[in-house]
Structures are given as structure tokens and as C-alpha cells.
Amino acid sequence: MPEAPTLADLIRRGAESGDPYLALAFHPYAEGSTREELEKVLFASRRQRIQFAGAPYTPPSVLGALARLDEPKIRARLARNPRTPPEALEYLFHEADGEGLAVALAAHGNATPELIEELPFRSDPEVRKAVCGNPSLPRSILKYVFAAGAPLECKAVASNPNCDVDLLIRLWRLQDLYVQAEVAAHPRCPEHLRHQALHHPEAVIRRKLAENPALTQDEVVRLLLDPDPGVRAAAAKGSTLTDEEHRQLAEDPSRSVRRAEAQRKGLDPQIMERFSRDEDSWVRRWIARNPEAAREILERLARDSELEVRRAVTRNSACPGDLLAELARDPESWVRAGVAFRTDLPEELVEALGQDSDIDVISGVGRNPHTPEALLERIARHADSDVRRAVILNKGAPPRILGLLKEDPYPINRATLVQHPALERADLLELLEDPEPQVRFIAANRLAREVQAS
């Protein structure tokens, strides 16, 4: 094959190779008789057909071709494969034994409203149960499911994005606790039902209400004063409050509330100072990662007794260089590794960390795009497969270093290598002969995509 193959060259190679994984990758790019030649390779054994019918990586074009095979086990897998295209689902229902597949088709994300309308949800409770959570469900069917469904089905109807106000009101009147909770959380929940949910004695309903994106400011404030900490925590995530209300949250006795507040952007400096001394280490961790934290706060948290808090400081984009250098000498390797993963380190600090004996630290250096090539080469030859993979995940790794890993003994490393943007086409062509099927498939898929685009 020429050094710069055409798409036709690749497809022909897939057909002539007898390799089902090359044929799988090239199938979407082939047409007519050439596609039929690939299908002879793909469907040569029943085991392969069954495997590809259920695999999440199988291209939709192959799933569509499999749907036309008269094999019930394959069709059952296709009905559950999330990549099966709408036209194949239609074929399965109309031309195959669609009644036996109705439950799977009812729940399928690619099922069209027209197909769902034809399914036997009126006579089959299992189909009705499967269909009521489908986001493609027309409102007419939602109303039917409500009229005929059990509480569990009605709960799914209440959470369906297509549910309208009238149906939400009718669902609320069922007086089922969990159905009402879903109604309270729905963006279309009308104001008078939100008011009832706000004063409901059951905390589960008030917690779900707090997740509703359509809440008014007054409703949010009321939920922030709720006696249940779970309700307050849910209300604190994403609410727009006054400074005084935020200060109250910072003093909340519930850790879950303080954690939710500590994650917020634009924290008042006084609140940030308060949180940096909080007894809960998770609260301190969120402050340690906050790029708006003052230097004195970061200095204190960089010496925190909890290693995860210190590591959080290493992940702060605003952490000053001298503090990073201090953390690079931390007695805990997990903290030093946090420094090693940063992409803004000076070369001398990268070199120093490269002399560390801990695997996590060396992996961080291996992924660092500022790591000198000579050091990367040493890491690429490391005995540990995870350390070698760090070099493969390094976006700045040069083609020469990547080429050293083409024959890495660990298949996952080679499968990851195939996806590196700097890997040269000659190396990709070599990987079409890799002993691992997934490596061959990913290499072939990438080659076909790039050749078609060029």
C-alpha cells in the first residue's frame, strides 16, 4: 500500500484483509458492492455478528445492516444498542418480530415519536412502563400512560421533559409522595403547586423542589431556611442570594450546606477566610482550589494537616510558583504528584520532580507538556504500564517518543496511543497490524476519518 493511502485504498484493504475490525471501521465510508464485500468479512461468523450487534463502538451503518439479518438474538441486541439508528429500529418493529422487541424499542433514545405511537403500550404494561421515561414520547402518549399507569410509571411521566402543566396538575392530585416530588422538580411546575411543595411536611418533596430551575428568589430564600439540611444544601447550589444570606450559609451547622456554598464562584473574602478554617476538610478543599483565594489563605492551606487539602492547592490555577516549589517537596507523594501534573511549571522544577521515585509523581511528569524530551524518553521506557501511559496522554509528546510506544506490551496503552494527535500516519498504518482488535479498529477509524477530510 502507498505511504499516503486514499480512502479507496483503505476500504479495499479492509475487504481483502479478512479482518472484521478493519471492515468495521471502514464500513461507514464504503458504498454499494464495496460495502457488501466488507459485510462478508464482518458477518463471517455468528459470534462476530452477535458481538457487533451489542458493542457500543459498532458504527450505525453496520447496526443497520445487521438489522436485516434474520437472527432473533442479534435483533434483540440491536434493540438495546443505543447507537442503533432510527431506520433500523423501524425495520426491527415492522419487518422482524417486533412484538418481542417492543419493550426495548419503547425505551430506545433513537425511537421516533411515530414508532412509539405504534408500539403496544396500550395493551402491554411492560411496554408502557418502558415507554413513559422516553424523552421522545409525545404528550398524547404521556396522558395515556398517566391514565392507565401505576405510580411508578406516573413518577416517570412526571419527570418527562414533555410533560405539560395540565398533566403535572393531574399527577400532583394522585397524592403519591414520589410522584409529587418529581412534579415539584419539573421546570413547568405551576406556581400554586410549587407553593404547596414549599410547605409540604415531607422533606423529599422540598428537596426536589429545590432542584427546580424555575424557582423564584423568594422560594429559594424560603428553602434556604428549611429545617432539613438536605433541602438547604440543594437550594444553595446555584441560587442568587444577598451577601447577608451567603454569610448565613457560611455559618450553617450542616457540612453539606457549607460544602455547597464553598463551591460557589465569587465568594466574599471574609466568607472565604471563614471557610479556609472550617472543621470540614471538604470545605477547605474547595477553598484551596478557588483561584480567587488570597495568597495568605493558600499558604495556610498548603500546610494543612489533610493531604487532600494540600493537593487541592496544587490544582489551584492561581497558586504562586514559590508555593508550588514548596509543595513539590511535600512528604506525601500524592501532593507532589499534584504539582507534577501542572502544565505551567518551570523546566527546573519538572526536572527535579522527574528524579522522584514514586510512580504517581513520575506519571505526572510524564503527562507534563514541558517535560524535556530526554526525560520523556526515560519515562516512556519505565517498567510500569501506567507510567508509560502518562507519556501517551501528554499532549506535547513529540512523534519520536510516541513511536517508541507502538509496541508497548499493554494493549490499553496502544489503544490510547492511536488517539494521540501527534502520532504520525506511518505509525498508524503499522498499527493496522496490531495483535489487539480494538487497537486495529481505532487506528483504522482514525485513518479513514483523516483521509476523508484531507
DSSP one-letter code for 19: -
Nearest residue to 380 via CA among 368, 389, 393 = 389
pLDDT tens digits, one per residue of 362-384:
999 999 998 999 999 999 999 99
Considering all CA atoms of the chain, what is the largest pairwise distance in Å, rounded to the nearest integer? Answer: 74
Reading the block at residue 393, the C-alpha cell is 496522554
DSSP of 249-312:
HHT-S-HHHHHHHHT-SS--HHHHHHHTT-SSHHHHHHHHT-TTS-HHHHHHHTT-SSHHHHHH
Neighbours of 318 (CB within 10 A): 12
Q: Distance between alpha carbon 148 and the CA centroid of its chain, in Å?
A: 35
Confidence of residue 240 (pLDDT cuts 50, 70, 90): low
* pLDDT, mean over the chain: 92
3-state secondary structure 95-126: CCCHHHHHHHHHHCCCCCHHHHHHCCCCCCHH
pLDDT of res. 99: 65
Whether the predicted pLDDT of 431 surpasses 70: yes
pLDDT at residue 415 is higher than 60 = yes
**DSSP-based three-state secondary structure for 6:** coil
Return the pLDDT at 2.
47
Residue 177: strand, helix, or coil? helix
Confidence of residue 249 (pLDDT cuts 50, 70, 90): confident
CA distance 133 to 271: 42
Q: Give 35's pLDDT tier (boundaries 50, 70, 90).
A: very high
* Distance in angstroms (rounded) separating the CA atoms of residues 398 and 419: 14
- Backbone φ and ψ of 128, nearest 5°: -60, -40
Whether pTM > 0.95 for this model: the answer is no
Q: Which residue has the cell 477547605?
A: 284
The pLDDT of 172-198, averaged and rounded, is 96
The cell for 413 is 496503552
pLDDT at 239: 62
C-alpha grid cell for residue 227? 429545617
